Amino acid sequence: DASDISKGTYPYYMLKEIDEQPNVLRRLVSEYMNEDGSFNFDPKLIEALREADKLYIVAAGTSYHAGLVGKPIIEEVAKIPVEVELASEFGYHMPLLSKKPFFIYLTQSGETADSRQVLVKTNALGYPSLTITNVEASTLSREADYTILLHAGPEIAVASTKAYTAQITIEAMLAKALAVVNNVPGAEDFDLKYQLSLAANGMQTIVDAKADLEQLAHEFFANTRNAFYIGRGIDYWASLEASLKLKEVSYIQAEGFAAGELKHGTISLIENGTPVAAIITDKETASHTRGNVQEVEARGAKTLKIVSEDLAKPGDQIVVPTLDTVLSPLVSIVPTQLLAYYATLQRGYNVDQPRNLAKSVTVE
Ligand code: G6P
């Protein structure tokens, strides 16, 4: 909805864009998923993806974090190996590529110079490419072989929110589309339409309860200089984005860590009152992550748990709906966006325009 660039009744774009996420998800379903279960993607794109032996996702910032989530989705659902690369690194330190690589550029703006320099190189090497972007006719869209649009509406706040969840949604749709054409066993069990309706409703429930998160942000992040998000697997990837969101707007030095890695170094940073938020949506590792939470509590940390409904226990402060585990960042990220938003307002900063940052960075 390109006309919708006013804040309406919202004080900041970031809050408006967080709130728009359920509708963006529903719009993507109606744009790309047909009633008969087929997808409205260019058949030539699907063919080109099928021919690849490995997919390389290249991106920067929040889009990179969406790519990190895309890897387990595509590998688990479509059984195609995926590498996720930081654009600013990959162009200059290109690893040994597979025989038939396919490049996926994730970029909200379609203008990021770091990503474009990689596209220029992979074009010169003759490799096929897809740009997943929010901006029609943007540079990376024009220069790649294929484009899929995010249909998220203009994202104005510098900190990306709705583009992240839209990118994950498109990655999941591509995964399912590829699983179906490749007859991957169990592909039918991955009921993406149903999962996305759960996700949209779950996002709505979370944004409707934003007053609780405002209070929690105040209790949890007030007067702290630093903070940690921890998780394992998919929750680790969500933790990286949760901590980026918090640090880029509130200036709290926030880091995301693999929960099991804490004891190998990071735990030395835990002091009395250090905030540590854990994301727990994977039943395989939930008890281990809870163990890590106890370890930091024993060293004085103040802890917050963001847990999927199926794994929730009394005392968990934030409960999010249960999705297929690889899709859980679609809902687990939303409370962390709101916590970042409120922690920033509570510190008196302009949440839409953090210092030193630009919405789209067109220099390398
Ligand atoms: C800038 C923005 C980030 C964004 C990154 C990648 O650094 O401040 O919010 O995630 O660029 O942008 P892109 O448009 O390529 O997704």
Query: 109, 162, 355: which to mutate for ligand 1, most atoms within 8 A of CB?
Result: 109
Q: Indicate which atom in ligand 1 lies nearest the CA of residue 134.
A: 14
pLDDT of 184 over the 60 cut: yes
In this structure, the residue with its CA closest to atom 3 of ligand 1 is 61
Question: DSSP label at 33?
Answer: B
What is the distance in A from the centroid of ligand 1 to the CA of 109?
Answer: 7
Q: What is the pLDDT of residues 194-208, one digit of tens each?
A: 999 999 999 999 999
Instruction: Flag whether the ipTM exceeds 0.85.
Output: yes
Residue burial 248-268, b: 16+ Cβ < 10 Å; e: rest: bbbebebbbbbbbebeeebbe
Concatenated DSSP letters of 248-284: HHH--EEEEEEGGGGGGTGGGG--TT-EEEEEE--TT
Instruction: For helices 61-78 and 162-181, give the axis angle rounded to 10 degrees.
Output: 20
In this structure, the residue with its CA closest to atom 2 of ligand 1 is 359
What is the distance in A from the centroid of ligand 1 to the CA of 62?
Answer: 6
167 closest CA partner among 108, 86, 85: 108
pLDDT of 48 over the 90 cut: yes
Q: Tokens for 166?
A: 């839209």
Q: Identify the band that residue 1 occupies on the pLDDT scale cut at 50, 70 and 90.
A: very low
Cβ–Cβ < 8 Å for 29, 193: yes
Q: Identify the band that residue 358 occupies on the pLDDT scale cut at 50, 70 and 90.
A: confident
pTM value?
A: 0.97
In this structure, the residue with its CA closest to atom 5 of ligand 1 is 61
Is residue 359 part of the annotated active site? The answer reads yes
Q: Identify the band that residue 342 occupies on the pLDDT scale cut at 50, 70 and 90.
A: very high
Average pLDDT over residues 41-52: 98
Query: What radius of gyration, in Å, describes the C-alpha atoms of the chain?
Result: 20
Q: What is the pLDDT of residues 320-337, one digit of tens each?
A: 999 999 999 999 999 999
Cα–Cα dist 261/126, whole Å: 40
Residue 41, classed as helix, strand or coil, is: coil
Cα–Cα dist 121/118, whole Å: 5
Question: Identity (one letter) of the amino acid at 61?
Answer: G
Q: Indicate which atom in ligand 1 lies nearest the CA of residue 62.
A: 10
Average pLDDT over residues 177-188: 94
Residue 78, classed as helix, strand or coil, is: helix
Active site residue: 7, 54, 121, 359, which one? Answer: 359
Q: Indicate which atom in ligand 1 lies nearest the CA of residue 114.
A: 15
Q: Indicate which atom in ligand 1 lies nearest the CA of residue 59.
A: 15
Query: 351, 359, 363: which to mutate for ligand 1, most atoms within 8 A of CB?
Result: 359
Q: Identify the band that residue 4 occupies on the pLDDT scale cut at 50, 70 and 90.
A: low
What is the distance in A from the centroid of ligand 1 to the CA of 248?
Answer: 12
What is the distance in A from the centroid of ligand 1 to the CA of 273?
Answer: 32
What is the distance in A from the centroid of ligand 1 to the CA of 121?
Answer: 20
Pocket of ligand 1 (CB under 6 A): 60-63, 107-109, 112, 115, 158-160, 357-361
Query: 65, 118, 160, 165: which to mutate for ligand 1, most atoms within 8 A of CB?
Result: 160
Cα–Cα dist 55/74, whole Å: 9
Q: What is the pLDDT of residues 124-171, one digit of tens each?
A: 999 999 999 999 999 999 999 999 999 999 999 999 999 999 999 999
Question: DSSP label at 59?
Answer: E
320 closest CA partner among 305, 337, 300: 305
What is the distance in A from the centroid of ligand 1 to the CA of 253?
Answer: 19
Q: Tokens for 29?
A: 């379903």
Cα–Cα dist 171/179, whole Å: 12
How many residues make up the chain in this entry? 364
Determine the straight-line distance between the first and last CA of the chain, rounded to whole angstroms. Answer: 30
Q: What is the pairing mode between strands 82-86 and 129-133? A: unpaired
Cα–Cα dist 255/240, whole Å: 7
Question: Any idea of the CA torsion for 46, 61, 353, 132, to the nearest 10 degrees?
Answer: -10
In this structure, the residue with its CA closest to atom 11 of ligand 1 is 360
